[in-house]
Chain A
Amino acid sequence: MAKFDETPINKDPAINGVLRPPKLREHASAEVRCYPSKPKDTAAIDLPTELVPDWKERAIAKLGEMLEKNKALRVYMDICVRCGACTDKCQFYLGTGDPQNFPVARAELLRQVYRRYFTPAGIFPDLGDAADLDEELLEKWYTYFYQCSECRRCSVFCPYGIDTAEITIAAREIMAEIGVSTKYVTEVVAKVYQTGNNLGIPPAAWIDNCEFLEEEMEEETGLPIRFPVDEEGADVFLVPPSADNFANTDTMIGYAKLFHYLGISWTTSTYCNEGGNFGLFLNFANLQKVNRRIIDAARMLGAKTIIWGECGHAWRAGILTPTLSGPMDAFDPPYPYHISQFILDMMKKGAFNGRIDKSANDEYVVTYHDPCNSARAGQLIEEPREIIGAVCNNFIEMPESTIREKTFCCGAGNGLLSDEIMPIRMAGGKPRALAVKHTKANYLATICAICKAQLPESMHYWDVPVKVGGVIDLFANALQLK
């Protein structure tokens, strides 16, 4: 029995692993909200600690500023024709039936304010579909812009590629500016500045866990597989999601086995042991500040190469690094580089020839979940599949309309992985869960730490017996180290 209110969730079944658009259930998820931020966290990250007195003026001014500086926002405000192509594509609508979760309806929450204050339609608000930014609308913004996981699925089906994620990002930026943000996102960003990672793992604990894993590996394999921390002059500075060291340890072990096999010196950093950039879910200033830590850490350690680990948001923010934090010319390659690309590059050079034993993964029937950020922002669609294909004998794809660029979000991305909005998470996770169920796979591979946290819960809720794990985990299983 679920411990949360299930009424927002729509229980229609899937047909062949694909959901049909449910009947409209107005306000189904109107009461599901994230906890608001705590003053100690917002103060720590340079945000107002409560709603500022002149919030309306500040919000409108911020919107005006963003319209001057962001072409996407400016264009997307004007060119939506309300065709409805996006409406049945969002997992949060498919899971709840709440029409306010249509991407177009979500975007209209911002567009109505845009029209009111920036276009002639604002002169006759009722005729021009414009609206004042009042408390009621701000409440709706807070509710529904934190029921969007910024996964960009809607953009794939929009004739003009309107990216509702960009609109959600803009609305959250405006809200942050006036003192409205969520506890989950702000406390995580504050933890990054304090401890270097999202989970609040202090350096001593990080080092401790790495030593523990080294002992485990020595016992398991008899080999001195290392998990270096803060080592200067290493070839590779790895930026994993911090969850890999504590929750998805098979993934962490995968990195270590890979580098050990290749004989490459590598390290993590206690100043920056987090790839997943939660500033991406909050506002530009924090997005940039968190991102800078990566380059700073790499410079402090004198590393030659920065490799991003298996994390979707890390990669989506990672590809912004040259713009946010300056040129990466000091590194090789001089641009962001992902662990899956690295494995494939090594594979093509023949580094693993004759040392891969596919039968090591024979107990698994593997299916692959494209994290939204890898597929729709990071152009990493075939790489993980190639790796899986090279190390597994049993690989089955989910229905075509649910993978690759059309992949469904796990349901908890971009700041939604918080227990108080569990109904939304389970509703959002429904299309993915039912697609997995259809394949009858027993291993759900993915390259994102938030997906790895959300998917086990979502699979359990929707009654899909499957183990969730990383791609490098499978690779490490099959790699013969001796």
Chain B
Amino acid sequence: MSTSDILWTLLSLFFVGLAYFATFAFFGGLLWKLVGYLRTSMPLPHAITPAPKTEGGAVLRVLGDVTLFPNLFKADKWLWAGAWIFHAALVSVLFRHLRYFTYPVPGIILYMEPVALFFGILFGAAILFLFWRRLGLPRTLYISNVPDYFVLALLGLVAATGLMVSYWLHVNIVDVKGFILGLMTLHPVEVPRHPLFLLHLFFVLVLMIYFPFSKLLHAGGIIFSPSRHQPYQVQERGKRYANPYDDRY
């Protein structure tokens, strides 16, 4: 074996190990955190009023929060635009990435090819806007800390390397698909011999490991925010909350 082969084998071992670890850390960490939120009780009425009076209404309220960001719209229209475009583009890009995890690939994922580049660039542009805003507004500059910059930089690197690898310094799609499917079927193969792709993969895996220990938990955590998901039912007959500080009631 040549030194090049040894190098690629070592890199493959590294990435396969990191990929499994990242998957475990991501799903395990997320589960641990979200189940922790789920199982902790909210002992007092906490809804921000005006609030819906039924559970169904509260579900709609949270669905609205997750899809339309209404509070952000009330707060700051520019931020709302940047954040909404960022998340919409993110969802589209992630959806498109399902092509690497499925076989056969569903039609819609293939047919969105013409718009895939558009969403990718929108994603990158939104990250740049959010980064610029964070540095440009005195208020956000004051409150920002190392983790905030780290996440934005990481996302920016993921976006940049991803765009480059898809549309400029192309990586062999078959190799990528083979590598991913190999991981999923627990029969890992060698990584595609493409440094830029490996950079992209590396940043993604770091993001996955970092996710459950960071503010990115807002992704799942938003549905556990009691001020939004509690219906206002204090004036319903018999409606009480479990009082964890007092066992008498």
Question: Interface on A for B, CB 8 Å cutoff?
Answer: 21, 23-24, 67-72, 74-76, 78-89, 99, 102, 104-105, 108, 119-121, 126-129, 152, 155-163, 166, 284-285, 288, 319-320, 322-327, 329, 333-337, 375-379, 381, 404-406
Contact = CB atoms under 8 A, between A and B. Distances in A.
A246 B47 CA distance: 33
Given A82-B145, A102-B143, A70 B215 contact: no
B48 A284 contact: no
A23 B132 CA distance: 19
B108 interface: no
A85 B75 contact: yes
A72 B227 contact: yes
Contacts of A379: 49-51, 232
Contact of A156 (B48, B65, B138, B245): B48
B211 to A, nearest CB: 12
Given A71-B224, A86-B75, A104-B143, A322 B239 contact: yes
B145 A159 contact: no
B57 interface: no
B225 A162 contact: yes
Contact of A320 (B44, B137, B140, B218): B44
Nearest to A338: B235
B243 interface: yes
Nearest to A335: B235
The size class of the interface chain B forms with chain A is 35 or more
A78 B83 contact: no
A128 B71 contact: no
A166 B36 CA distance: 19
17 contacts: A23-B138, A69-B244, A72-B225, A75-B37, A78-B221, A81-B218, A87-B140, A99-B139, A119-B213, A156-B74, A160-B228, A161-B227, A161-B228, A335-B236, A335-B237, A336-B234, A337-B235
B226 A72 contact: yes
Interface of B: 33, 36-37, 40-46, 48-51, 65, 69, 71-72, 74-76, 79, 83, 134, 137-140, 142-148, 213, 215, 217-218, 221-222, 224-228, 232, 234-246, 248-249
The 5 closest A-B pairs by CB, nearest first: A157-B75, A85-B75, A379-B49, A129-B145, A161-B227
A326 to B, nearest CB: 5
Nearest to B38: A71
Nearest to B248: A326
A90 to B, nearest CB: 11
A320 B45 contact: yes
A309 B45 CA distance: 20
Contacts of A160: 65, 218, 221-222, 225, 228
Contact of A161 (B41, B65, B236): B65
B43 A323 contact: yes
A326 B243 CA distance: 10
Nearest to A68: B40
Contacts of A325: 249
A82 to B, nearest CB: 5
Nearest to A126: B146
A105 B143 contact: yes
A161 B36 CA distance: 19
Contacts of B51: 379
B147 A102 contact: no
Contacts of B138: 23-24
B37 A120 contact: no
Contacts of B246: 288
Nearest to A163: B227
